[in-house]
């Protein structure tokens, strides 16, 4: 043990004297400090989650440990390699030293060092929580265990098993390159596996948690359904009875792997000089044998000969020859290194795996079109390409010094420029080869997925015109840094620091591309437009930053080391001699920087106004402070809209005039008209009676007009205005995605809003605190006098008459809600006139223009039309089939379709949604590339979304609620349920079980991230996870309880009684709310099930149903008797997720199934009254059963689905 302590103390002394130890400690301290003191630095949860709470600390430590794998590899790996690097192992291993003392001391010293280094996280968080500027509404004190328990159970355990694995690999390989490569490999492979799991969206929550070495997936498994209250109070438990023991088993598994690694290094490390040098001795012996054999060969006699005359040539030919020769040499040096091939294999591996998942996204299969394939294969590959650029720039600069060849190399008759360019071209060649590898992997995976429409031009544009300049920019920066610094690894750290500076600066509201190194404007490729309007900003920012890095690279030539004298004074002296020859290049790049930067600034700050996200929030906050007082100010309502719009998609602009008919639907005269212009798109507002303009806010966001003659109750007023938007140059981000070359799609948000608009307000509680705003107001309660007579979606109107004329370039089709009256061509433009006729619609309309292929079908008097880009024909028939099925189901069960047409229109994937306007539904192009490979397993989201958007023609465009709590669910939940029913008719109950499981998962995850308070379904506010996922679950379960026909009858009665509320009234009356919906549902629900409506709509009800035992026994008549033991619990939760036990007396499904898990066939399913405690049920079935359980179809909201069913144990 004495020798162990000697090696242990020596290792600690070495580490404590090393600057890197304190740099690592400071790094983790700084990051943790900022994560608490500046909450935007790293986000671990929503605005209600404590910044230093137990869950936040756990996630933070996991995240830092993940990226700390490289640090762990460096500390553990170099400790065991030190004696081999310094060639002292031959001396040490001749001494009487045991393996335990040598290896154990080295390992233990590294372990303690790592614990010290990573303890900076704990101290950083603790100090950060004391800072006066921190958000103390999300910080608590006096909970030291919240810091220590995650540190011990996460960080220390990670250090133990990762350090042991890295120690093993380093000890057996004894190569420094392997040490660093293994850290990078673990990081990248883990990120890849996370991406793979995310892509599959698997609901398997046991093995994925146990096998997770770092813990991010483990945390998702354990806390996926935790409420904010639980995240702010609970630590991960080591109990085998909590969360199925996933955390305990995970930790034990990886601790065991750590011990196995230590045992392996002890067993296989050759603790002798003979064993360690056997290979090199063999090589030396073979070389000696070859030299001996050569000596024995007969030699020719010497003959006098005249030496050739050497013609010296120092012209341009020599320069080119040297450049080619040195470039080839450096390429050979790089490609003969194990690290290069390891990185190449990693890039290919990641590209192939990610390429496979380009065709799979969240249990949806999609066609792996080139933009999706590129997005997938370049994802991780680009990071590795940056790694290659950073590492090999350093290796190329330091190679001669590392190999002690600098003296000879520096004496060669070669210019510094030639030497530097050979390094640059060699690295560029390597990057091109790796990019070609990425491209090849993409093409292979497209072929493998059965997709053969290769877009080679897009591959070239993305990889070689966008990625390659970015990567080489980092390489140029790395060349400069490595030339300036005196340590290669310090250079790597600086380049890495600059690389990660971008997100840090963005967090601190420094978002200007001209100020953030390596930043370029965001862009999105679309098959409808290619790179479209993003090209200019992307190209000029690339020129700007590449020129800056090239300027620095030229400076690095001037400052390059040459000769034995390496002091800064000597290097500056050499630089002064070299600069005259480099001046033209420096001048060129300075001009490029100034020119490109000036042009970029002119476009983004002169032609357009540049605002940071913080400034935009300030505008929102100021709007609320100044004009919230007018929110309830009486205003007229829009009753008719007539507009003439000229679209200019190729310039991303439009202009036109609008005409509103306003009517005073209040009992009192109105003297002032207030207008919100959220998009700054309205001008020249006029009324058909005398008025004057009182005031306007900054940016004309809010304007007030005084009528000289008040508008009497019931009286109408004509209002005209100009509307439009003119694009100028390009922006530094913040481009308006709705304005595209093909697929331009904007809505009535560009038109003036009458009165104050809540849509402008900041809804993030955290941001509201920053702006010192009060809590966001809830929608008023049901029955509120003002909210009840205000339309939920369009507060400034009830229902309107609508007509429009819209023009677009000759080669495009322009669409808007309404029936086409006529279209014509004039002056190179295509005109369309649309009119809704007598049908009233919401004040919610859109304008769309694009180069479309059109498919139409007249189905039972309704024209079904799909307007799509010719690249994406695959799902058109699926959409039309869904529309036909939806029209049949909705008209048979709800009411007649109010329109004569239903149109689906594709728009670019700059935005990802589908939306329902009157008889018109724009779909993002992503829905046009999904595909169903296995109808029994794959969820056909395109079919479902089509049915959902069509259902909105009933649930929103026939019936709309008031602006009160709960109304959102009447449009969204009813549309979601309706779509489920249409999908169920096509795919059956088994597919619905799969879909409902995902709906339940979405709801429970949504409430886990709630930023305010979760309301009951009947009083929902802005919580989409409640009105979408929970709403569909509740309605589907209710239809199962009372029958589909009875539920549909309730919805029919509700719809027919309240549809088109206020459509013809001169004075606004009440809109329906969820109380009326619940009443309609109660009327069709038996008395013994009335509790379900109360629990589902007015309370937050959670179940904890589990199967305790399931056995089967074959009876003499050949049947099977199944005995099922279950237990049920019910609880009510408040808005914060705090649960209170409730008595249980509910009807719940219990059932028996045959077949393998995931493909079960029901043998017997029935409803039983579950009263709590253990209950036993018996079944007699005809086929061999395999599984049984309670609530097997997940119709009820249960936070632990894994224990609802279990495999049946067969008994003799």
List 711's β-bridge partners, or say none. Answer: 670
Q: How many domains does the chain have?
A: 4
Is residue 886 a part of any domain in this protein? no
Query: CA 638 to CA 718: how far, in whole Å?
Result: 10
Q: Side-chain half-sphere of 860: how many Cα atoms within 13 Å?
A: 11
CATH number of the domain bearing residue 1048: 1.10.390.10
For every residue of 1040-1056, which 3-state class applies, written as one string?
HHHCHHHHHHHHHHHHH
My answer on whether 1093 and 1130 are in the same domain is no
Scored b (16 or more CB within 10 A) or e, 966-985 reads bbbbbbbbbbbbbbbbbbbe
pLDDT of residue 1101: 96
pLDDT of residue 171: 82
My answer on whether 191 and 236 are in the same domain is yes
- Which phi and psi (to 5°) does residue 51 adopt? -65, -30
Is residue 273 a part of any domain in this protein? yes
Cβ–Cβ < 8 Å for 850, 867: yes
Query: CA 303 to CA 299: how far, in whole Å?
Result: 12
Q: How far is CA 336 from CA 331, 406, 479, in A?
A: 8, 20, 21
User: 3-state DSSP call for residue 1123?
Assistant: strand
Sign of the torsion formed by the C-alpha atoms of 1009, 1015, 1017 and 1022: negative
CATH number of the domain bearing residue 1173: 2.60.40
Q: Which residues contact 218 (CB under 8 A, 6 or more apart)?
A: 209, 210, 212, 246, 247, 250
Cβ–Cβ < 8 Å for 1143, 1172: yes
Q: Give the DSSP H/E element, type plus range, for residue 819.
A: strand 819-826
Query: CA 1016 to CA 1008: how far, in whole Å?
Result: 15
Strand order in the sheet with 813-815: 744-747, 846-850, 813-815
Is residue 1142 a part of any domain in this protein? yes
Sign of the torsion formed by the C-alpha atoms of 40, 45, 48 and 53: negative
User: 3-state DSSP call for residue 854?
Assistant: strand
Query: CA 901 to CA 1074: how far, in whole Å?
Result: 30
Cβ–Cβ < 8 Å for 643, 723: yes
Residue whose token pair is 């001795």: 281
C-alpha torsion angle, residues 461, 467, 473, 476 (rounded to 10): -100
My answer on whether 1050 and 1125 are in the same domain is no
Q: How far is CA 554 from CA 470, 541, 547, in A?
A: 18, 20, 10
pLDDT of residue 277: 56
My answer on whether 236 and 359 are in the same domain is no
Which pair of structure tokens corresponds to residue 159?
A: 């250090």
My answer on whether 1070 and 1168 are in the same domain is no
Is residue 1111 a part of any domain in this protein? yes
Q: Side-chain half-sphere of 86: how many Cα atoms within 13 Å?
A: 10
- Would residue 861 be called left, alpha or beta, if left means φ above 0 and alpha means ψ between -120 and 50 degrees? left
User: Consecutive sets of 10 residues in the chain, 1212 residues long: mean pLDDT of each?
Assistant: 82 85 88 80 74 89 86 83 64 70 87 93 90 83 89 93 88 73 75 64 63 81 85 86 80 92 86 55 57 61 59 66 88 86 86 81 75 87 88 85 72 79 93 95 91 92 94 93 83 80 75 87 93 94 94 89 71 80 92 96 94 91 94 95 98 97 94 95 95 86 95 95 96 92 96 95 88 91 93 93 97 96 95 95 96 97 96 94 97 97 97 95 92 75 95 97 95 96 88 84 89 92 93 95 96 96 79 96 95 96 94 92 95 92 95 84 93 92 93 90 89 76
pLDDT of residue 564: 65
My answer on whether 347 and 482 are in the same domain is yes
My answer on whether 1190 and 1094 are in the same domain is no
Is residue 752 a part of any domain in this protein? no
| DSSP secondary structure, 545-605, as one string | HHHHHHHHHHHHHHT---SS--SHHHHHHHHHHHHHHHHHHHHHHHHHHHHHHHHHHIIII
Is residue 482 a part of any domain in this protein? yes
What is the residue range of 354's domain?
Answer: 320-524+539-576
My answer on whether 367 and 340 are in the same domain is yes
Q: Which residues contact 585 (CB under 8 A, 6 or more apart)?
A: 554
Q: Give the DSSP H/E element, type plus range, for residue 690.
A: none
pLDDT of residue 66: 85
DSSP secondary structure letter of residue 1068: -
- Which phi and psi (to 5°) does residue 433 adopt? -60, -45
My answer on whether 1051 and 1116 are in the same domain is no
Is residue 708 a part of any domain in this protein? no
- Look at residues 1080, 1098, 1116 and tell me which one is the last residue of a structural domain: 1098
Shortest CA distance to 171 belongs to which of 277, 80, 262, 83? 80
- Look at residues 1098, 1118, 1135 and tell me which one is the last residue of a structural domain: 1098
- Look at residues 216, 249, 277 and tell me which one is the last residue of a structural domain: 277
Neighbours of 584 (CB within 10 A): 10
**E strand map for 301-436:** 360-361, 364-366
My answer on whether 208 and 326 are in the same domain is no
Is residue 608 a part of any domain in this protein? no
My answer on whether 1113 and 1045 are in the same domain is no
* Long-range contacts of the stretch 278-285 (C-beta < 8 A, 24+): none
My answer on whether 1024 and 1162 are in the same domain is no
CA 926 to chain centre: 16
């Amino acid at each position: 043990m004495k020798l162990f302590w000697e090696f242990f103390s020596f290792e600690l002394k070495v580490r404590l004297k090393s600057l890197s130890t304190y740099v690592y400690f400071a790094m983790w301290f700084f990051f943790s400090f900022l994560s608490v003191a500046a909450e935007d630095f790293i986000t671990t949860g929503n605005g209600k989650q404590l910044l230093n709470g137990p869950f936040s600390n756990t996630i933070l430590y996991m995240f830092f440990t993940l990226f700390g794998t490289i640090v762990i590899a460096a500390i553990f790996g170099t400790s065991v390699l030190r004696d081999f690097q310094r060639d002292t192992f031959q001396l040490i291993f001749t001494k009487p030293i045991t393996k335990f003392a040598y290896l154990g001391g080295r390992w233990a010293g590294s372990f303690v060092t790592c614990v010290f280094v990573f303890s900076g996280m704990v101290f950083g968080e603790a100090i950060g929580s004391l800072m006066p500027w921190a958000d103390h509404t999300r910080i608590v004190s006096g909970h030291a265990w919240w810091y220590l328990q995650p540190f011990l159970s996460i960080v220390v355990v990670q250090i133990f098993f990762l350090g042991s694995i890295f120690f093993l690999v380093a000890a057996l390989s004894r190569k420094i390159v392997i040490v660093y490569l293994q850290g990078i490999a673990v990081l990248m492979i883990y990120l890849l596996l996370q991406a793979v799991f995310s892509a599959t969206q698997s609901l398997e929550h046991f093995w994925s948690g146990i096998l997770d070495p770092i813990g991010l997936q483990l945390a998702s498994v354990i806390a996926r359904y935790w409420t904010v209250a639980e995240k702010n109070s609970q630590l991960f438990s080591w109990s085998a009875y909590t969360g199925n023991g996933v955390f305990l088993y995970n930790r034990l598994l990886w601790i065991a792997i750590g011990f196995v690694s230590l045992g392996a290094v002890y067993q296989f490390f050759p603790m002798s000089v003979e064993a360690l040098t056997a290979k090199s001795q063999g090589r030396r012996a073979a070389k000696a044998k070859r030299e001996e054999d050569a000596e024995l060969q007969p030699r020719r006699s010497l003959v006098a000969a005249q030496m050739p005359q050497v013609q010296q040539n120092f012209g341009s030919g020599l320069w080119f020859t040297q450049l080619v020769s040195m470039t080839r040499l450096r390429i050979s040096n790089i490609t003969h290194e194990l690290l290069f091939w390891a990185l190449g294999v990693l890039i290919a591996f990641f590209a192939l795996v990610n390429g496979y998942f380009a065709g799979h996204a969240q249990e949806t299969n999609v066609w792996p079109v080139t933009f999706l394939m590129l997005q997938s294969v370049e994802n991780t590959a680009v990071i590795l390409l940056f790694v290659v650029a950073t590492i090999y720039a350093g290796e190329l600069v330091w190679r001669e010094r590392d190999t002690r060849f600098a003296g000879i190399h520096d004496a060669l008759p070669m210019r510094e420029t030639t030497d530097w360019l050979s390094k640059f071209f060699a690295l560029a060649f390597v990057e091109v080869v790796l990019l070609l590898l990425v491209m090849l992997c993409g093409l292979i995976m497209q072929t493998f997925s059965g997709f053969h429409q290769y877009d080679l031009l897009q591959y070239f544009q993305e990889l070689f015109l966008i990625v390659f300049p970015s990567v080489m920019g980092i390489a140029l920066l790395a060349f400069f840094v490595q030339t300036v610094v005196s340590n290669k690894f310090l250079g790597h750290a600086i380049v890495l620091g600059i690389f990660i500076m971008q997100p840090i600066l963005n967090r601190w509201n420094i978002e200007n591309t001209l100020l953030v190194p390596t930043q370029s404007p965001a862009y999105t490729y679309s098959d409808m437009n290619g790179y479209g309007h993003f090209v200019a900003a992307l190209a000029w920012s690339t020129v700007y930053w590449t020129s800056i890095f090239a300027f620095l690279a030229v400076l690095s030539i001037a400052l390059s080391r040459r000769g034995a004298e390496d002091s800064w004074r000597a290097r500056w002296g050499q630089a002064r001699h070299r600069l005259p020859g480099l001046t033209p290049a420096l001048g060129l790049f300075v001009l490029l920087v100034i020119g490109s930067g000036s042009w970029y600034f002119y476009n983004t700050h002169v032609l357009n106004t540049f605002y940071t996200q913080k400034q935009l929030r300030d505008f929102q906050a100021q709007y609320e402070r100044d004009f919230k007082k007018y929110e309830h100010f009486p205003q007229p309502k829009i009753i008719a809209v007539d507009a003439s719009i000229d679209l200019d998609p190729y310039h991303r602009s439009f202009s036109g005039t609008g005409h509103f008919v306003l009517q005073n639907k209040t009992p009192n005269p109105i003297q002032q008209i207030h207008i919100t212009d959220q998009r700054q798109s309205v001008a020249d507002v006029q009324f058909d009676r005398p008025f004057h303009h009182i005031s306007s806010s900054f940016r004309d966001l809010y304007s007030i007009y005084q009528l000289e003659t008040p508008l009497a109750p019931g009286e109408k007023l004509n209002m005209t205005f100009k509307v439009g938007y003119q694009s100028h140059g390009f922006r530094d981000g913040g481009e308006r995605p709705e304005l595209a070359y093909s697929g331009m799609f904007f809505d009535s948000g560009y038109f003036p809003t009458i009165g104050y608009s809540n849509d402008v307000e900041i809804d993030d509680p955290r941001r509201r605190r920053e702006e010192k705003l009060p809590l966001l107001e809830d929608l008023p309660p049901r029955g509120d006098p003002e909210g009840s007579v205000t339309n939920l979606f369009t507060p400034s109107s009830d229902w309107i008459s609508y007509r429009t004329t819209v023009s677009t370039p000759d080669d495009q089709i322009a669409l808007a809600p309404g029936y086409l009256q006529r279209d014509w061509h004039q002056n190179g433009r295509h005109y369309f006139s649309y009119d809704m006729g007598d049908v009233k619609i919401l004040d919610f309309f859109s304008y769309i223009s694009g180069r479309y292929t059109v498919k139409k079908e007249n189905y039972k008097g309704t024209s079904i039309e799909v307007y799509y880009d010719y690249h994406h024909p695959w799902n058109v028939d699926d959409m039309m089939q869904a529309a036909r099925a939806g029209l049949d189901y909705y008209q048979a069960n709800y009411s007649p379709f109010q329109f004569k047409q239903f149109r689906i229109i594709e728009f670019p994937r700059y935005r990802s949604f589908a939306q329902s306007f009157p008889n018109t539904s724009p779909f993002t192009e992503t829905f046009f590339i999904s595909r169903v490979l296995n109808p029994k397993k794959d969820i056909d989201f395109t079919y479902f979304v089509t049915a959902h958007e069509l259902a909105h023609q009933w649930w929103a465009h026939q019936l709309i609620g008031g602006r009160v709590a709960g109304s959102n669910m009447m449009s969204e939940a009813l549309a979601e349920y309706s779509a489920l029913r249409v999908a169920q008719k096509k795919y059956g109950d088994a597919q619905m079980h799969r879909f409902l499981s995902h709906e339940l998962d979405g709801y429970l995850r949504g409430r886990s991230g709630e930023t305010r308070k979760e309301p009951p379904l009947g009083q929902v506010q802005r919580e989409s996870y409640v009105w979408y996922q929970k709403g569909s679950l509740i309605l589907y379960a209710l239809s199962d309880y009372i029958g589909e026909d009875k539920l549909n009858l309730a919805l029919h009665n509700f719809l027919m009684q309240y549809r088109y509320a206020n459509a013809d009234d001169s004075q606004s009356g009440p809109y329906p709310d969820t109380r009326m919906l619940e009443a309609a549902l109660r009327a069709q629900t038996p008395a013994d099930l009335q509790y379900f409506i109360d629990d589902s709509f007015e309370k937050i009800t959670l179940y904890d149903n589990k199967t305790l035992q399931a056995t089967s026994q074959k009876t003499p008549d050949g049947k099977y008797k199944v005995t099922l033991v279950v237990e049920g619990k019910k609880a009510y939760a408040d808005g914060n997720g705090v649960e209170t036990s409730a008595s249980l007396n509910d009807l719940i499904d219990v059932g028996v199934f045959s077949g393998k898990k995931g493909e079960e066939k029901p043998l017997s399913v029935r409803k039983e009254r579950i009263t709590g405690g253990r209950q036993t049920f018996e079944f007699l079935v005809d086929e061999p059963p395999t599984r049984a359980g309670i609530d097997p179809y997940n119709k009820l909201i249960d936070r632990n689905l894994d224990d609802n069913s279990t495999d049946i144990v067969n008994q003799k």
